Amino acid sequence: MGITDDASRLATLHVDGTAYAVTRARRADVPALVALLADDELGREREHADPEPYLRAFARIDRSPDHLLVAVRSPQDEVVATVHLTMLPGLSRGATLRLQVEAVRVASAVRHLGLGTQLLEWVTGYARSHGAGMVQLTTDRSRAGARRVYERLGYVASHDGMKLHLG
């Protein structure tokens, strides 16, 4: 099934005269998704060439109904952006369902066209349509440009995030 089949699309984003297909990522997309993750200073340090851990992670993500790994495709079927969405049910805030947004990446060749902004606006609509009362994300402090985009879209740096690396 190609991306031109409307049934395979979650949405179409129109940016600068080009239609990009928002689709559920496929196993065959994993190398392109990892390349997007590695396409900056931070990613080059974190990602590696061994495909097996990524394929195992993809299989786990793909079989969970609470996860959606997105591949945004150009008209040439090239993966040019990604985002990983996770629905988080919880008891706090009146049992508010949250949508956790992770690994937002846009290929360097199409950055600054507005594709990331449109993708995040689609994410907000996805959250609402799936009953989420909150969208939350974290961003590395060194990603000043990403932070400006998030703030322009209404995200507020209301909490300090903390991590404990176990590996």
Encode pLDDT of 72-129 as tens digits.
999 999 999 999 999 999 999 999 999 999 999 999 999 999 999 999 999 999 999 9
Confidence (pLDDT) at 4: 44
Measure the CA–CA gap between 89 and 87, rounded to whole angstroms: 6
SS3 label, residue 102 = strand
The mean pLDDT of 124-136, rounded to a whole number, is: 97
SS3 label, residue 149 = helix
Whether pTM exceeds 0.85: yes
